[in-house]
Structures are given as C-alpha cells and as structure tokens.
Amino acid sequence: MSKYNKYSNELRLEIVNKYYNNEGSSRSLGKEYSISYKTIDNWIQKHKRTNYNFKDNRVTNSGRRKEENIDYKERYEILKKYQAFLKAQRERK
C-alpha cells in the first residue's frame, strides 16, 4: 500500500480554483475534501510559483525569462577581456 495518496489533476485544479475564487481557505477546503491543508497549500504554492497547469500536468510558464537578442559574439569578447584582466592580476602578484 502506498504511503501517499494520489489525487487526480481535475480535483487539484478544482480545489486550487476554489481557493483563488475565495470559496474557502486551504484549511476549510481540506476539511471539505478530507485532504490535509498542507497538501492543498503545496498545490497552491506550486501553482503560484510555476503557474502549474494541473489539467495538462505541465508548467505553462516557468517564470524564467528568456533573454531576447542574445549576442554571443559580444559576450565572448567581454569574456576574453575579463580573462585577460584576471591574467594580468595574477601576474602582478
């Protein structure tokens, strides 16, 4: 027998939506569905932090912004200059 209960994504989404629609706190929703409020808090935090989509069981927006127009040549030149600077610093010692 499993130590942890598994809940359907539909149930998770329903509970998180009820929380966001102010239809109950995590404690009251936990009592209503006979689920630990800590479990519900974890679902809510996961949803807030990662915008987790329980329907598709995936992250819709990881929250990590991609840098636009990355200029690798420019970064390479900066790195080369930094390495030369570090080399000069070591030689001074």
Q: What is the CATH number of the domain that holds 53?
A: 1.10.10
Residue 88 φ then ψ, to 5°: -60, -40
**Is 78 within a domain?**
no
Q: What is the pLDDT of residue 1?
A: 46
Please give the model's pTM, rounded to 2 decimal places. 0.53
- How many domains, in total, are found in the chain? 1
Is the Cα torsion angle 33, 39, 41, 46 positive or negative in sign? negative
Hey, is 58 helix, strand or coil? strand
State residue 52's pLDDT score. Answer: 62
pLDDT of the residue at 72: 82
Q: What does the pLDDT read at residue 54?
A: 61
In this prediction, the residues of the chain whose per-residue pLDDT falls under 50 are 1, 64
Tell me what pLDDT residue 67 has.
53
